[in-house]
């Protein structure tokens, strides 16, 4: 099938937020007495919806987090994004060379997606084509967010290519009947391949992957 729409995940695909976001999380949960390594946090929480992240933290700590934990975490994350967030290396060049409709479908709230894209100057490319799990109340690995994006963009699911960096996201794309490209470090390629992604390691490769099937 010829690709008619490219659906991008946001965190770790468009914006280089995985280490940054998880560093904020690790620093915050340390205040509650939970010691987590950054690498472990990234593995645990990549592609995860917030409620699931909190459940894991509470399980590790053996106690409930305060009711405003998520609000505070989001505020701290937003501050870190404003200061330090960068686009993923090569993504602007890739987007400049992709002559297909594009959109974003992310597990994060709309405000967070827009903040991340604004800070990295990617927002004009995706304005009006941003889809959030919070809009539909369904998260990856369910395919609903990708199907919702495709429907809104007026494209059949089978004509979409998803660009993802997490196992949950790859599973969601595959479940939706879409072609999935997995952006990952060489050392972490196996789990994404096992879920059905075609793996690539540099955004500079993306345009040619989209034009050749």
pLDDT computed for residue 211 by the predictor: 85
pLDDT digits (tens, 9 = 90+) for 108-147: 999 999 999 999 999 999 999 999 999 999 999 999 999 9
- Across the range 25-53, mean pLDDT stands at 93
Query: How far apart are alpha carbons 200 and 90 in whole angstroms?
Result: 13
Q: What is the CATH number of domain 5-16+86-211?
A: 3.40.50.1000
Are 195 and 46 contacting, i.e. CB atoms less than 8 angstroms apart?
A: no
Q: In the chain, where are the structural domains located? A: 5-16+86-211, 18-84
Q: Which residues are catalytic?
A: 9
Are 131 and 104 contacting, i.e. CB atoms less than 8 angstroms apart?
A: yes
pLDDT at 1 over 80: no
Are 150 and 125 contacting, i.e. CB atoms less than 8 angstroms apart?
A: no
Tell me the percentage of the chain whose pLDDT exceeds 90.
Answer: 92
Strand 102-106 relative to strand 5-8, pairing: parallel
The region of weakest confidence among 24-28, 38-42, 68-72, 174-178 is 38-42
Q: What is the CATH number of domain 18-84?
A: 1.10.150.240
The structure tokens 């992709």 sit at 98
Q: Is 159 helix (H, G, I), strand (E, B) or coil?
A: helix
- Across the range 192-198, mean pLDDT stands at 97
pLDDT at 27 over 90: yes
Mean pLDDT, all residues of the chain? 96
């Amino acid at each position: 099938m010829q690709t008619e729409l490219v659906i991008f995940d946001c965190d770790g695909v468009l914006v280089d937020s995985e280490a940054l976001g998880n560093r904020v999380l690790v620093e915050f949960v340390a205040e509650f007495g939970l010691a987590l390594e950054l690498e472990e946090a990234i593995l645990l929480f990549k592609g995860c919806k917030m409620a699931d992240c909190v459940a894991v933290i509470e399980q590790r700590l053996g106690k409930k987090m305060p009711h405003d934990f998520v609000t505070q975490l989001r505020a701290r994350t937003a501050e870190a994004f404003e200061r330090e967030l960068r686009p993923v290396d090569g993504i602007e060049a890739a987007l400049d060379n992709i002559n297909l409709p594009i959109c974003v479908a992310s597990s994060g709230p709309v405000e967070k997606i827009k903040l991340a894209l604004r800070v990295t100057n990617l927002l004009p490319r995706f304005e009006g084509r941003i889809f959030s799990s919070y809009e539909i109340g369904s998260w990856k690995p369910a395919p609903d967010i990708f199907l919702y994006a495709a429907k809104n963009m007026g494209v059949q699911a089978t004509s979409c290519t998803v660009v993802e960096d997490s196992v949950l996201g790859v599973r969601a794309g595959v479940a939706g009947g879409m072609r999935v490209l997995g952006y990952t470090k060489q050392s972490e390629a196996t789990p994404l391949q096992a879920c059905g992604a075609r793996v690539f390691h540099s955004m500079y490769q993306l345009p040619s992957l989209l034009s050749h099937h």
